[in-house]
Structure 1
């Protein structure tokens, strides 16, 4: 990745050039198509409403464009980093308290944006170096492994919703199609592997059901869904335990935000770290995430899939992302779309999850790789090993009545504290 400081000098980034032309509208629709698979996958896995996720992705992108004055061609949508805490939070505190915690995560981004204004962007890297962020990201991915395997085998809780062998076959087909599209795809197909995997698994389920005389695809949700439906917004509740559980998870996406902005900067050859400034892009991301949580949607993040599509199409005009946001909001009111998404067989999603959650873990490994030879230093090994075992071992700390810290949240806090209090290693 090209460092921001090495970018070719260019004039200040222009504001979005809004023109109601068929080409601009079509490219905007294409950007939403690229993001669609990952966008709806998060709510499908966590129990949130996909229509709300579409609405909050569009709203969040518009908020980001306003804050950054329409200068950065990025699309904001559902963040994978929060899948595990959302699942755990819904099971422990309920949907409303979980979305309240997600809104608080957005406010943490806002606070970080003001801290960047005061102290510069370097303080965040000093507070959260790779030795902390890397293992926390790995915990996020690895803690989801049982969820992916259970869904791929057709197991929902204690209920076997589909014969195990049939479920594994569907999961293998969707997983294989996603892998091959990501590796061999060309052009626009290379940035939509999730959609390709879902389509392949869905078609396979229809074919197997017809051959065996089984109902592998339940079309009732589609038939019963109205054409027009207001998204199922959820009013948040602010539960301190849920908030403190989710806040540490926001550390990794906050660091990732720097990489995303640097990536789009290298594509367009404009230094967005300086103008509109990382403090403003972080503020836009935070306000978008807070708005999503307040409405019952998943947290937002800048989508690397869309950055890849921008690279392919050379569509650098930020107004295109505004059109993508408008399409997302419009589609959120299409009841049949939500109904169609509900018909996707669980093992199809499970097969894709095996790959996605593993890739989250690999991202954590790539962060640790930045340490180089320092990875083998005793201090770094102590922090990494402690974070991993606390996060994956099921350690829970109880504080008073009704407040616990466990899993990803506890591992993030542990890594942060260890990095602050452990002495530097002597030569």
Structure 2
């Protein structure tokens, strides 16, 4: 691509529009998975991913070929928040999380990029990421077995559910291991499709009835229906509709609970920017600057939450696609954003996604939440520090036990617990505990 092309040339290039559509396809599976798991609207997520990417491009001078969409790091707090405070209250906490990015970007601008690493070293970030994955483990298991996320009721008989979940999980793993080219970039999308087809097959051939015969009849008292897939929402949905935007409502408890979760994706942001810089051969940390990319990520996240969408983050899947195609033009991401916004207004798109059976999502979650935990573990391993050293041991141990154990601290009319407590605890301990004594 010629360096002399203007932004308008990039946006209206037919070739770039085709590649942009492919980039959205790569991101699509993960993009819609977050709202499907958390109870948010997939069409809203599509709209806020597209607009968030455009906001990011504006702030970073359209220099970085990267796409922003739904962040996996916030799945746990969103699930908890929606069940506790509802979507509007949860959105208030997510808006504040985006503003934390903005504060961090201003600090980076003032004190340099090393500031964030001193405030949030691997010994803090690693275990916090692990907590995010581990607290979700019961939700994944419940859904894979055919229950609701909290395990309170059966939606699909266990034997049937585990077959469907197992197919979705197995296909995802095999695709990630053996897939070539584009297929390796979309293992989640392929796994969901495989599980969906399996569920349709069980319904069509009536096999689920014989599978259920071996299931405990007493556990079926809350079973809501025999069909794994119901197309009623799809038939009732209009072709074109405005996404179901939700405005936030003030909720201090949600803010205090959710904001510390932004610690992990803030650190991951550095890695994503370094990765795309390595692919393109450019130093985006210096130009447009890591403070600008962090600012763009934060404002995109807050904007998404103002409309009821999940927080945004830079997508490594799309970076992989950029590596594969060697298409480094940032205008491609503009096209991907435009396509995402356009799809958001297709009412049947969101309805179709909502017909995906719970066990399919549960099978994917088994791998996804475990992967989040492994990322946190890998953060500690790569740091190469002695975790048995008293200071490190204290920080890691308390983050893990308080976060996974569900410790809650009351403060007047609100409480602090779970991921939020573990994140704040890790930052405070890192600041107040003395450093390692010289041997």
TM-score grouping bracket, smaller chain normalisation? over 0.9
Q: Deviations over 1:141-199 (max 9, x none)?
A: 00000000000011014221111000000000000000001110000100000110011
**Structure 1 residue aligned with 2:386:** 374
Shift of residue 14 of structure 1?
Answer: 8.7
Q: Deviations over 1:77-102 (max 9, x none)?
A: 00000000001111111110100110
User: Partner of 1:389: helix, strand, or coil?
Assistant: helix
Alignment partners' CA distance in 1, 2:383 and 2:201: 49
**Structure 2 residue aligned with 1:169:** 163
2:263 matches 1:254: no
Shift of residue 374 of structure 1?
Answer: 2.5
Q: Deviations over 1:85-140 (max 9, x none)?
A: 00111111111010011011111101111111111110110000000000000000
**Structure 2 residue aligned with 1:46:** 38
Q: List alignment gaps of at least 5 residues for structure 1.
A: 1-11
CA contact (8 A) 1:13 1:275 kept: no
Worse-matched range after superposition: 171-180 or 203-212: 203-212
Equivalent of residue 288 in structure 1, options 284, 300, 322: 300
Alignment partners' CA distance in 2, 1:243 and 1:178: 35
2:136 matches 1:144: yes
For residues 71-220 of structure 1, what are the structure 2 equivalents within 5 Å? 71-156=63-148, 157-212=151-206, 214-220=226-232
User: Partner of 2:65: helix, strand, or coil?
Assistant: coil
Structure 1 pair 14/411, CA: closer, same or farther in 2 (3 Å)?
Answer: farther
Please provide the CA RMSD for this pair. Answer: 1.5
Shift of residue 371 of structure 1?
Answer: 2.6
Alignment partners' CA distance in 2, 1:316 and 1:167: 42
Worse-matched range after superposition: 24-33 or 214-223: 214-223
2:361 matches 1:349: yes
Question: Which segments of structure 1 move beyond 3 Å, counting only runs of 4 or more?
Answer: 12-17
Q: Deviations over 1:194-240 (max 9, x none)?
A: 11001100110111112226521111111111000100000101211
Alignment partners' CA distance in 1, 2:299 and 2:67: 14
2:49 matches 1:57: yes
CA contact (8 A) 2:386 2:392 kept: yes
Q: List alignment gaps of at least 5 residues for structure 2.
A: 208-225
**Structure 1 residue aligned with 2:430:** 419
For residues 225-236 of structure 1, what are the structure 2 equivalents within 5 Å? 225-236=237-248
**Structure 1 residue aligned with 2:409:** 397
Structure 1 pair 373/251, CA: closer, same or farther in 2 (3 Å)?
Answer: closer
Shift of residue 370 of structure 1?
Answer: 2.3
**Structure 2 residue aligned with 1:6:** none
Alignment partners' CA distance in 1, 2:74 and 2:401: 20
Q: TM-score, normalised by structure 2?
A: 0.93
CA contact (8 A) 2:101 2:295 kept: yes
Equivalent of residue 67 in structure 1, options 59, 78, 98: 59
User: Partner of 1:301: helix, strand, or coil?
Assistant: strand
